[in-house]
Structure formats: C-alpha cells, structure tokens
C-alpha cells in the first residue's frame, strides 16, 4: 500500500470545485452565484495569509500521517459522525479508512474556506459552497463506498438494488426526492381536517372560516395569513399538532387565507395584489362576517411580511383594524437573512428580474430545492442513501409530506419582494417602499404585537425576528411581546402545547432605546426558560386583546358571504405541477 500524498488527496476536489457547472451537476441543487469568486477558488492559497495557510497545512499533514500510521497498524479510526455510526463502517477497515479520509479532507477544505480573506458576503458563499461539496462527496452517498448499502444488497439478494433503482426512476419522474410516504396522506382526509367552510374566494385566495368548538368565543376574530411560498396546512396538519385547531379550542373565531397555487393566469400578479386583493380583502371580509370592527391579525414567515404591509397600507389610509398583531418567524428588517443570503446579491436579483419581472412563474420545485440545499444531509443525501442505495421506502411523516407540496410564485411579486426586502432592505425605512399606492410606515400600525422567533432558525434568525420589536408600535413599545422558542423555522412553530415538548423563553419587554427589548442578547440574558410549547403564551395574548366573550356563531359565513364549500377548499389541493 503506497503512502498517500495529502496534497494529491485534495487537489482533485479543489480543481473540480472551482468549476461551478461541475458542482451544480453533482448536487442538482440551486447554487449561489460563485462566478465572481472563481479567482479565489482557483488560487485559494493566494487569498489566505501565509501563516494561516501554513498552520492549516501542518495540521492536515500531521493528521494525515497519523491516519496512515493507524491504518498501517490495522487500527480502526474512530468516526465521530452520525453518517458513519452504523457498525458496518467500523467492521470494515477499508470503509473506516475511507470515511476517516473523507472527514479529514472535509475538515481541511472547510478550514481553508474559513481562512479565505474576502468580504463577509463572499466568505459566506465560499463556506456554503464548500459545505455543499463536502456533503455531496461523502462515501455514504455512493453504493461502491457505502458498506451499509452493500450489506443490505447481500442480505436482500439484490432486491434492494432493484427497489432503489425503481425509487430513483419514480423520483426522476416527479422531479424531486421523496422524503415521505406520500400515499399515506391526503389533504382534507387526514391533513387539513379542522372543520370549517370557505366563505369567500377571489383569484388570489380562498378565505376559510372554522367552526367554533366552544360555547363562547372572543368578540375579536383571528385572521391568519400564512406564507404564500407553501401551503397553509402546515398550520393544520393533524388534530394533535394543528395550530388552527388549538386557536379554535381557545375560543377564537378563526379565519384563514388559503393562497391559490399560481398558474399561467397569475403570471402578472404583483406584490401589491397580494397585499390589497389578498390580506386587506381577507381582513375586510372577516370584519364583515364577524360584525367586529377589529380583528387579531396573524402572519407566519412571508405571510407576516404581507400582513404587516397590509396593516401599514391601511394605517396610511387612516384605518387601524388590528386589535393585535402576531408575527411568527417573520422578517421586517432584512439585514440578517441567515443562510439564504448566499443566494441573494445584485447579479442574482437582476437575473430573476430579467426573466420574471414582467411576467412568468417561479416554479415551486425551484423554491423547494433551494430550501433543501440549506440542509442537504438531512433533506437530500439522507434520502439518497435510504431510498436509492438501500431500496427503502420513506416513512409516513406529515410535515415532510407538506414540505414536498410546493407552490409556484408569480414573477412580478417575487422579484419585487426579492429586491425591496432581501436585497435593499427597504421595508424597515418609513416611506421607502410604496405598496397599493401609499408609502409604508410600519411604525404607524397601532396594535400590540406578539413576535415569535425560533432559536435554531436558519431561515429567519431569531435575532432578526427580534428586530421587529423596534419597528412596530413605537409609541407603545411596552405592549409588544417577544417569545423565543426552541428548534427551527418549522419545528419550533409546530410544537403542540399538549405534548409538553421543548422549551420557550419569555422576558418583560422594555421601551426601545434602553433595556432588553432594544438588544436581543440582553433580552435573552434577562429571559426565563419555561418548559413546553409557547402556544399557551400566545393564547393568553389573544385572549387579552380579544374583547369580551360572546356566544359562538351558530352558522358560518353570512348573507353576504355564504359558504362556498367545506374546508380546506379547492385551492389548497392544487399541486404546483398542476397549476
């Protein structure tokens, strides 16, 4: 056995990585615009200080020599990585050495990326792209180097290979990797089952009113505006984890926007349309049906940005319909956009504007693959190994079923949102963004606000969500409340109260300018950790601003807005490829 050359062990990876087309063909995922960084990638050493480069090389050579020595002495290396936790990796010396070599090379490349001297934005892109590469090149991802898959092949007498190829061909037809047993779920049958009626619809959305489950309800109804980049039923999966059902059980009359999955007829729809014909229309219809002048407004993710924009439009027109505002994992200040920042710069936005600003659709599969690329080991390679290499069928999982049910976006709406919010961060500046004919001022919204962030959110960092505390209700900041939950962007939100899982943190808000509310780190230092879901804190907030209790309505809708069909309605059942 020849002694490996550490420089040769990495040169091939680096030369291939320098070619964005090669990297994209490996991953089949959207890549950040790394063309401006080609010079750095092709001559990475010139962009790292000599002392840092020497330290990385010395450390690498020492570890490579130690690994070779262990291998020569037939000493199996320890693999501190869950991808190689199965006993087959340890029982096969060559497989163990392959995995250990991969981990060493991965660490070398990531340390090189970390040491590159570049602007923060370019450095984040380099780190992201290198991480994509090392995740893709794991020996666990290939049948020839995965001893688990090989053992399964022997045990099943080749059946796993046949099944794996069948799974792969089926996914090629779908255009995406299957993450869940999709035959186990059906919208309206065992997901999105909270009883209700569609009481209004237009070309953009259906409005669902849910049937009360309590004898009395708060006089102020709740209007829920979910994100338009995916289906609303993330908020109404199954009875035990449904945010919608929980809100109904807490004595709220709940209205919810079910966005239409855009097809060719919506190619020219704008951001203004989503605000005016979407959120504002939903608020007005809910007020008319309930007979309440005020409503509690709820927005989740992009739905929170739309909801806040709608209330700012109404404030500019002299209207204040919100008794309260709830924002879950929502960005209003886009200074820190987490890992999504690698996909957003002037070149990328200009490319989308050239293709879509005057009409067209951003396909839902493009959004889905973008989000999958943020966690490729969990959302891509895990299923490549299981579905294709081992021939297993994915388990039934309601959240991942929803995750695969993507939506398209109208080009003009998407490009406006991308430039005004993500690229230029204009929404936080009073008067900088004009929507529905008026300049927006978030500070003009007169409503106490409940803001929720998830501590491990990689899409909306909780510290970025926290910045909304300084933008909303500035005249009465003590009426704002921030709650921090455990876990990530979705799992942190869908954390049923009854299960008592995870934790949340609460602190008393202080006026802006001084005190914890002005600074997220200070807020966290003063916050108390409470076991279980944050849902109960939110229910208390809604009750506090929900007005007096009144008799629950006996019928849904009204004379003007008669029920059209049973919830969850038609719009949510249209898949992106069918729109």
Q: Is 494's pLDDT higher than 70?
A: yes
Q: How far is CA 70 from the centre of its chain?
A: 42
Q: What CA–CA distance (Å, rounded) separates 362 from 267?
A: 9
Q: Binning pLDDT at 50, 70 and 90, where does residue 554 land?
A: very high
Q: Is 10's pLDDT higher than 80?
A: no
Mean pLDDT of 208-227: 98
> Quick check: 480 and 466 in contact, CB under 8 A?
no
> The tokens of 336 are what?
């820190």
Q: What CA–CA distance (Å, rounded) separates 279 from 557?
A: 18
Q: Is 325's pLDDT higher than 70?
A: yes
Partner residues linked to 255 by β-bridges: 209, 223
Q: Binning pLDDT at 50, 70 and 90, where does residue 517 land?
A: low
> The tokens of 346 are what?
């002037």
Beta-carbon neighbour count of residue 88 at 10 Å?
A: 17
Q: What CA–CA distance (Å, rounded) separates 453 from 465?
A: 6
Mean pLDDT of 490-501: 92
- The pLDDT value given to residue 230: 93
Q: Residues with catalytic annotation?
A: 301
The alpha carbons of the chain give a radius of gyration, in whole angstroms, of 26
Q: What CA–CA distance (Å, rounded) separates 461 from 555?
A: 41
Mean pLDDT of 411-417: 97
Q: Is 218's pLDDT higher than 90?
A: yes
Residue 406 DSSP symbol: B
State the sign of the Cα–Cα–Cα–Cα dihedral 403, 405, 407, 408: positive
Q: Is 169's pLDDT higher than 60?
A: yes
pLDDT tens digits for range 154-165? 999 999 999 999
28-37, 237-246, 457-466, 504-513: segment of lowest average pLDDT: 28-37
Q: Is 30's pLDDT higher than 50?
A: no
Mean pLDDT of 428-457: 97
- The pLDDT value given to residue 246: 98
Measured between alpha carbons, how far apart are the two ends of the chain, in Å? 58
Average pLDDT value for the chain? 89
Q: What CA–CA distance (Å, rounded) separates 398 from 404?
A: 10
Q: Are strands 434-435 and 438-439 parallel, antiparallel or unpaired?
A: antiparallel
Sole residue written with tokens 């779908």? 174
Q: What CA–CA distance (Å, rounded) separates 191 from 403?
A: 13
Beta-carbon neighbour count of residue 430 at 10 Å?
A: 14
Q: Could you state, in order of their start, the residue ranges of all structural domains in the chain?
A: 6-140, 196-339+424-573
pLDDT tens digits for range 542-553? 999 999 999 999
Instruction: Name the maximum alpha-carbon separation found in the chain.
Output: 84
Mean pLDDT of 517-523: 83
- The pLDDT value given to residue 339: 85
242-251, 286-295, 361-370: segment of lowest average pLDDT: 361-370
- The pLDDT value given to residue 316: 98
> Quick check: 53 and 47 in contact, CB under 8 A?
no
**Residue 520: partners with Cβ closer than 8 Å, 6 or more residues away:** 462, 463, 466, 467
DSSP 468-491: GGGTS-TTSGGG-EEEEESS-TTT
- The pLDDT value given to residue 4: 39
Helices (H), 317-461: 346-356, 364-373, 376, 382-383, 398-404, 411-417
Q: What CA–CA distance (Å, rounded) separates 280 from 207?
A: 12
Given its phi and psi angles, is residue 175 left (phi above 0), alpha (psi -120 to 50 degrees) or beta?
left
- Looking at the chain, the number of H-run helices and the number of E-run strands are 22, 17
196-339+424-573: what CATH class? Answer: alpha beta
Q: Is 42's pLDDT higher than 80?
A: no
Sole residue written with tokens 């806040």? 308
Q: What CA–CA distance (Å, rounded) separates 405 from 236?
A: 14
Q: Binning pLDDT at 50, 70 and 90, where does residue 122 land?
A: confident
- The pLDDT value given to residue 20: 36
Q: CA nearest 345: which of 276, 270, 423?
A: 423
Mean pLDDT of 291-308: 98
DSSP 72-111: HTTPPPP--SGGG-SHHHHHSHHHHHHHHHHHHHHHHHHH
Sort 155 into a burial class: Cβ within 10 Å, 0-12 / 13-18 / 19+: exposed
**Residue 574: partners with Cβ closer than 8 Å, 6 or more residues away:** 260, 261
- The pLDDT value given to residue 34: 40
CA distances from 455 to 21, 53, 348, 499 (A): 35, 34, 29, 19
Q: CA nearest 465: which of 307, 322, 338?
A: 338
Q: Are strands 409-410 and 222-225 parallel, antiparallel or unpaired?
A: unpaired
- The pLDDT value given to residue 368: 87
29-38, 224-233, 475-484: segment of lowest average pLDDT: 29-38
Q: Is 262's pLDDT higher than 90?
A: yes
Q: What CA–CA distance (Å, rounded) separates 449 from 441?
A: 16
């Amino acid at each position: 056995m020849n002694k490996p050359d550490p420089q040769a062990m990495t040169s091939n990876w680096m030369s291939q990585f320098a070619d964005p087309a090669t990297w994209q063909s490996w991953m089949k995922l959207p890549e950040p615009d790394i063309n401006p960084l080609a010079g750095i990638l092709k001559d990475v050493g010139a962009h790292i200080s000599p002392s840092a480069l020497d330290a990385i090389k010395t450390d690498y050579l020492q570890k490579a020599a130690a690994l070779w020595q262990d291998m020569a002495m037939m000493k199996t290396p320890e693999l501190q990585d869950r991808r190689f936790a199965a006993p087959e990796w340890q029982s096969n010396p060559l497989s163990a050495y392959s995995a250990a070599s991969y981990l060493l090379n991965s660490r070398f490349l990531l340390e090189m990326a970390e040491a590159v001297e570049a602007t923060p934005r370019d450095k984040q892109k380099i780190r992201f792209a290198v991480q994509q590469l090392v995740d893709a090149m794991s020996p666990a991802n290939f049948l020839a180097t995965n001893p688990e898959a090989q053992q399964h092949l022997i045990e099943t007498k080749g059946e796993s290979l046949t099944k794996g190829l069948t799974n792969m061909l089926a996914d090629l037809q779908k255009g995406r990797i299957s993450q869940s047993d999709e035959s186990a779920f059906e919208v309206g049958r065992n997901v999105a089952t909270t009883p209700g009626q569609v009481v209004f619809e237009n070309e953009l959305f259906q409005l669902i009113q849910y049937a009360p489950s309590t004898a009395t309800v708060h006089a102020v109804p709740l209007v829920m505006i979910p994100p338009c980049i995916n289906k609303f039923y993330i908020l109404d999966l199954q009875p035990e984890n449904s945010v919608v059902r929980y809100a109904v059980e807490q004595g709220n009359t709940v209205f919810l926007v079910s966005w239409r999955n855009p097809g060719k007829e919506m190619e020219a729809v704008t951001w203004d349309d989503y605000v005016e014909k979407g959120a504002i229309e939903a608020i007005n219809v809910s007020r008319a049906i309930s007979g309440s002048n005020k409503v509690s407004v709820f927005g989740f993710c992009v739905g929170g940005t739309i909801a806040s924009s709608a209330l700012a439009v109404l404030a500019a027109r002299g209207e204040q319909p919100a008794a309260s505002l709830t924002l879950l994992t929502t960005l209003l200040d886009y200074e820190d956009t987490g890992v999504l920042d690698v996909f957003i710069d002037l070149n990328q936005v200009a490319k989308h504007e050239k293709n879509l600003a005057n009409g067209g659709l951003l396909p839902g599969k493009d959004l889905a693959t973008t989000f999958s690329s943020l966690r490729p080991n969990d959302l891509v390679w895990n299923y490549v190994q299981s579905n294709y290499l081992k021939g297993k069928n994915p388990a039934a999982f309601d959240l991942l079923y929803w995750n695969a049910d993507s939506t398209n976006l109208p080009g003009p709406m998407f490009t406006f949102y991308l430039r005004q919010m993500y690229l230029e961060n204009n929404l936080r500046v009073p008067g900088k963004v004009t929507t529905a004919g008026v300049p927006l001022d978030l500070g003009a919204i007169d409503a106490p606000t409940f803001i929720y962030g998830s501590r491990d959110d990689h899409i909306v960092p909780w510290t970025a969500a926290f910045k909304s505390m300084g933008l909303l209700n500035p005249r009465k900041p003590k009426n704002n409340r921030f709650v921090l939950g455990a876990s990530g962007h979705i799992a942190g939100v869908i954390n049923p109260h009854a299960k008592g899982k995870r934790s949340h943190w609460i602190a008393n808000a202080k006026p802006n300018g001084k005190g914890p509310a002005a600074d997220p780190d200070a807020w966290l230092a003063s916050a108390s950790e409470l076991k279980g879901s944050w849902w109960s804190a939110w229910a208390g907030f809604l009750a506090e601003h929900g007005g007096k209790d009144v008799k629950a309505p006996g019928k849904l809708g009204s004379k003007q807005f008669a029920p059209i069909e049973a919830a969850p309605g038609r719009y949510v059942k249209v898949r992106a490829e069918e729109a």
